Structure formats: structure tokens, C-alpha cells
Amino acid sequence: MGSTLSRYAGFIAGIVPLMASLAIYGVYRFQTSLIYPSNFPEGSRDVVDVPSSYDIDFEDVTIRTSDGERLRAYEMVQAGGANKTIVMLCPNAGNMGHSLPIAEQFYKKMGYNVFVFSYRGYGKSTGSAHEQGIKLDCHAVVNYLAKHKVLSNTSIILYGRSLGGAIGIYMATLPSSKGLISGLVLENTFLSIPKLIPNVLPLLSPLSFLCTEKWESERLIRHLPRDIPVLFLSGKKDELVPPSHVETLYDLCPSEVKQLAEFDEGMHNDTIIQPAYWSQVFKFIKQIPPND
């Protein structure tokens, strides 16, 4: 009996470190799949809705990145002209087609141009998603917008939700964005991926040090140009991104004009439908001066 228990104890003693090693390997190896679920909802890599479904004229364009990936984008330019362009930066799931109901608000209700693109590895864009690659996407999009004969002559406002907020902060701090970006709207975005893990995946909190995908907005937002107005939107019942993350980003933001709009009943994905959400967004963007 004693020898049997000893063998069992020895087996357990061996299996525990093995399981721990597998967990560590799994977190490290598959983190991009967890952070960038580009095939959710199912079929998101194959089926991408088009603006014409919303009775919006558009151009389907392809932007080449410096490392050879091809990003698909929709340009929705007002036929009668507009003095502002909203660049939409999508959350971490789905593709740009899922953001078209929001694009409709900006295009039809506000009368602005809209530009939206799928990051690498999303929708019909090539490649696979990871932080350094998406940062190259940002460079490519900024360069494209800067050379655009119509959009470059408008005030460009970045609108990012969740992960899109982190991408917006990065894009707005690029040297090539200086003088191009006129405003920033950030909804339910986070301080960094490692600081988000304890809230989203509490069981993996001890392994957050293995996360190589950082998106360190807490550090980067300090370098935002002071002349870029920023609107922070926060759902107080956000179950994924603690509202304290948005509050801290607001406090750290050096912008001369910044606002924090909080929605008492807003959760992570439904803040956008809370009362006064769109009136806050519209009022903020309207106050941004047109590009001279």
C-alpha cells in the first residue's frame, strides 16, 4: 500500500510541473489567437459587408504595407464635400463590415467622410494579426491618408473602440501624423494588455508576464500632442475593461482639450447605445475646427 501511494505521489509530483509547463507554453504560443479573434463571429475572414448595403457610396481600396501585406479599406467620401473625415479603428473581433452601422451614423447623420480598414489578418486583409504588424498597418494608413487628394485636406478624427482605442493612441503619436490628425475619440480602451489580463482572464493573471502583445497606452498617451482634442467614453459597468483604465488614461492625457463622458449603465459592447452617447460624440467632433 505504501509503495503504491509513493508511486502515485511521484506521478502527481511529475504531472504538476508538466501541466504548468503546458499552460505556460499555451499562453505564450496562442496569445495572438486570444487577443485577435479575427474569425469571430464565424466567417469574418470570408464575408465582409459593404457600405452599399447601407445605401452609402464607397470605394474599396487596397493599401500596401512596408512588409508586403495588403490591407482592405472602404472610403466613404461625401459627394458634396465635407470638412471632416472619421477614421474608424475597429475592436479586436470581426471585420470592418461589422462597423458599418457606426459608419452610417457619421456619414449620414453628421455628413462626414468615413474611412475604415481591416487590420492585417482581419476580413480580407492579408497576413496575421500581431502588435508589431498592426503598427506597420498604422504607418501605411497614415501615409495613405496624408497623400489622399481629398481626405488630406479635411480634419481627420480617429475613432477607436476597445483595441481600436489603443491603436488610435499609437497612430496619433506617430511623427508622420503630426499636422494630420485633428482629434481622437476613445471608447472603453485599456492601459495595456498585460494590465487587462487579470480582469479578462483572471486564472492567467500569474502568467501575464509572458504576454508579448503589450499595446502600452498608459505609457504612450503621455506623448500625445497637446493640441489634439480627446474624448474618452467609458461604460461604468464595463465587464472587460475596468472603467479605472479609461479614467487613468484621461488623467495622463496631456491634451489641452479633453473630456470624459461616463455612462452609468454602459457595458463593454453596449456603451455605444446608451442615451446621450451619440450626442456627446457629435458635439465633440463638431467643435473640432475644420482643416485650414
Catalytic residues: 162, 238, 268
Cell of residue 11, nine digits: 506521478
Please, is 135 exposed, middle or buried when counting C-beta atoms within 10 Å of its C-beta (0-12, 13-18, 19+)? Answer: middle
Q: What is the SS3 assignment for 232? A: strand
**In degrees, to the nearest 5, what angle opens at C-alpha 227 toward C-alphas 224 and 232?**
60
Euclidean distance between CA atoms 229 and 39, whole angstroms: 34
Q: What is the SS3 assignment for 123? A: coil
User: Which residues 6+ apart lie within 8 Å of 30 measured at CB?
Assistant: none
Answer for the pair 168, 229: CB distance below 8 angstroms, yes or no: no
Which residue bears the cell 509572458? 210
User: Which residues 6+ apart lie within 8 Å of 39 measured at CB?
Assistant: 45
Going by C-alpha positions, the residue among 79, 228, 218 that lies closest to residue 157 is 228
Compute how many other C-beta atoms are within 10 angstroms of the C-beta atom of residue 264.
Answer: 9
Euclidean distance between CA atoms 23 and 224, whole angstroms: 37
